[in-house]
Structure 1
Amino acid sequence: MKYFIVEDDLNIIRVLSRIINDRDLGTVVGYSLNGNKASDEIFCLKPDIVLVDLFIPDKDGISIVKEIIRKDPSIAFIMISQVSSKDMIAKAYESGIEFYIQKPINAVEVENVIAYVKEKINSERKLNEIKKLFNIEIPAKNNHEKLDYEKKLKYVLQKIGIMGEAGTQDIIKIIKFLIDSNVNLSNFTIKEVCSRFSNNPKTVEQRIRRAAIKGMVNLAHLGIEDNLNDTFLEYSTGLYNFKEIKIEMDYIRGKGKIRGKVSIRKFIDGLLYYSKN
């Protein structure tokens, strides 16, 4: 995979390049510190994936994404920014990006997100090759038609701080399956739904549980800092049992000896609800 970075901070460019190179994710073919110059260089170098900052001199990241996708929808975009505004993140997804990573940069999150996008690109290419082999007409890809539920799901996962967790990809697959099949989790046991994506459903469930626990811990810390925080109030009850969140908060404060527990079923049901509404 070839990568291009659009970022006005050279230190961040070096960090992203090091992550890509050191973890054998592909090759960085170029970078730009300027929004106006970025588009021309991207069209010239034709990278597979562009990592772009939201706020870049002369032309913002959303404008760059829209311009490139309009002319070459085969290029995938990952946006990286300090912005946490719900509206701005929603606009970024609407422009056609695959993922939104919030600064400060976490190497594990960057690696996991890139791995997910690479897998998606490779799957699409293989499907297109099969269609061409059998002379099946291939409709033009349009990132603007990205399913709304996927944007909502990724937004929630990011807000609770688990976008970079290994279980995130399993969660996305399960939510997609439930929505595409027009069913809910009550039709299955957790093991049954996990077994649809792996011969080892227990491992899938463990990854999801670790991600859900990380989200609970993140919300508990947020609640300790500000118990009126919108994210804390929304997701501590929407995805978890608030009593368990409070137990986790007491544990973090040193006031309790046991940790909060997570219900995977409630967690998935909550994500399904937020994805559809």
Structure 2
Amino acid sequence: MRFFIIDDDPAIRSMLEQIIEDEDLGSVVGEAPDGAHVDITLLELKQVDIMLIDLLMPVRDGIETVRKLSGSFEGKIIMISQVESKEMIVKAYACGIEYYITKPINRLEVISVIRKVSELLLIHQSFRNIQKSLRAVGFSGELTEKEPSTIEKNIITCGNYMLSDLGLIGEAGSKDLLEMLDYLYRYEADHSQEQGFPQLHEIYHQIALKKLGPSASTINLKKEIKAAEQRVRRAVNQALTHLSSLGLIDYSNPKFEQYSTKFFDLSDIRKKMKALESDETSALSLIRQNTKKFIQVLYLESRKLMN
């Protein structure tokens, strides 16, 4: 990944560059002390993938800079600032940033966020490439022998795209969810629509069988099924937390509006938001999870992206 850092504090720029290089996250290809020194021509010339930008700067602040780049910069933006005002954070997200990190800089947080954004960028790039390939096939009106396998792989790419929007990239259960999407895609191709979705236990059984192989013992299969169930439950809870957090920051957040009531019941979303706002950890465990609904919606939304 290629990074560009914009901050009026040279110590912060140096610190961020050191973190990126020490952790082998990519290379810093440029830096600037103010947003006024940056435009799309410079970023394209430097082939910037991720821009880290401060909010408060003397000439042109971070929000105004992001607005000027909106629609032209195809990379991702991480904003880093000492400002903790909810109103300012909402404005930053509304402008199109991917993450907002508050100062003083926490090294582990910066590393985690950059890794997530890097994974997200790679997924989006892959998704755009597949869209171009599919449009090219549709334009020619010809179906090659390789097209079915290309589309079959696309369910995983689309699933990854959905998981990134739900804040699940890097979660252990994300791999299980992708295996489920692959199984459901094959299941749909082999069965009539009247049969609907298979039972949840059958889905877990099939992905465990695929992972361990046909010679796996019954005991090992049961252990893997139980472990997968736990991983998926944690992933579903993380998605609920992620969407609820977006709703707390900005109730009109596009991802919150698009996904919250599709994947979860509105009452559960409200309970989670209330628990997060009041930091009631005991209340969080009382929120039920409809894992089957989550998996069904994840598959349908991923399938929709394929079209």
TM-score, length of structure 1 as denominator length: 0.55
Contact 2:20 2:28 in 1 (8 A): yes
Residue correspondence of structure 1 range 73-84 to structure 2 within 5 A: 74-84=74-84
| CA spacing shift, 1:210–1:131, aligned 2, 3 Å | closer
Aligned to 2:42: 41
Runs of 4+ residues deviating >3 angstroms: 166-170, 197-201, 203-212, 234-237
**Deviation, structure 1 residue 34:** 1.9
Extract unaligned runs of 5+ from structure 2.
Answer: 139-164, 178-200, 212-227, 241-269, 291-307
**Deviation, structure 1 residue 99:** 0.8
CA distance in 1, matches of 2:172, 2:38: 31
Contact 1:33 1:57 in 2 (8 A): no
1:239 and 2:275 matched: yes
| CA spacing shift, 1:121–1:50, aligned 2, 3 Å | same
CA deviations on 1:86-109 (whole Å, 9 max, x unpaired) are 111111011111111111111111
Aligned to 1:114: 114
Residue correspondence of structure 1 range 48-197 to structure 2 within 5 A: 48-72=49-73, 74-134=74-134, 135=136
Contact 1:76 1:98 in 2 (8 A): yes
1:265 and 2:265 matched: no
CA deviations on 1:147-189 (whole Å, 9 max, x unpaired) are xxx7xx99xxxxxxxxxxx76997xx9xxxxxxxxxxxxxxxx
CA distance in 2, matches of 1:120, 1:13: 23
Contact 1:35 1:56 in 2 (8 A): yes
CA distance in 1, matches of 2:106, 2:98: 17
**Deviation, structure 1 residue 64:** 0.9
**Deviation, structure 1 residue 210:** 9.9
Contact 2:275 2:283 in 1 (8 A): no
CA distance in 2, matches of 1:35, 1:64: 5
TM-score, length of structure 2 as denominator length: 0.50
CA distance in 2, matches of 1:55, 1:7: 8
CA distance in 2, matches of 1:128, 1:4: 23
Aligned to 2:27: 27
| CA spacing shift, 1:121–1:58, aligned 2, 3 Å | same
CA distance in 1, matches of 2:72, 2:277: 47
Instruction: Return the structure number with greater helix share.
Output: 2
CA deviations on 1:22-80 (whole Å, 9 max, x unpaired) are 111111101101221122532431300000001122101011111122323x1210101
**Deviation, structure 1 residue 207:** 7.5
CA distance in 2, matches of 1:22, 1:77: 21
Aligned to 2:186: none
Q: Secondary structure at the match of 1:265?
A: coil
Residue correspondence of structure 1 range 190-205 to structure 2 within 5 A: 200-203=228-231, 205=233
| CA spacing shift, 1:13–1:127, aligned 2, 3 Å | same
CA distance in 1, matches of 2:237, 2:99: 22
Q: Secondary structure at the match of 1:18?
A: helix
Contact 1:209 1:264 in 2 (8 A): no
Contact 2:63 2:92 in 1 (8 A): yes
| CA spacing shift, 1:128–1:8, aligned 2, 3 Å | same
Residue correspondence of structure 1 range 215-226 to structure 2 within 5 A: none
Contact 2:55 2:62 in 1 (8 A): yes
**Deviation, structure 1 residue 125:** 1.2
Contact 2:52 2:78 in 1 (8 A): yes
| CA spacing shift, 1:240–1:120, aligned 2, 3 Å | closer
CA distance in 2, matches of 1:130, 1:51: 28
Contact 1:240 1:267 in 2 (8 A): no
Contact 1:98 1:117 in 2 (8 A): yes
Q: Secondary structure at the match of 2:38?
A: helix
CA distance in 1, matches of 2:87, 2:108: 26
Contact 2:35 2:65 in 1 (8 A): yes
| Percent identical | 33
Contact 1:167 1:208 in 2 (8 A): no
**Deviation, structure 1 residue 113:** 1.2
State the AA in 2 paired with 1:56.
M
Larger Rg: 2
CA distance in 1, matches of 2:87, 2:102: 14
Extract unaligned runs of 5+ from structure 1.
Answer: 138-149, 155-165, 174-190, 213-233, 249-259, 269-277
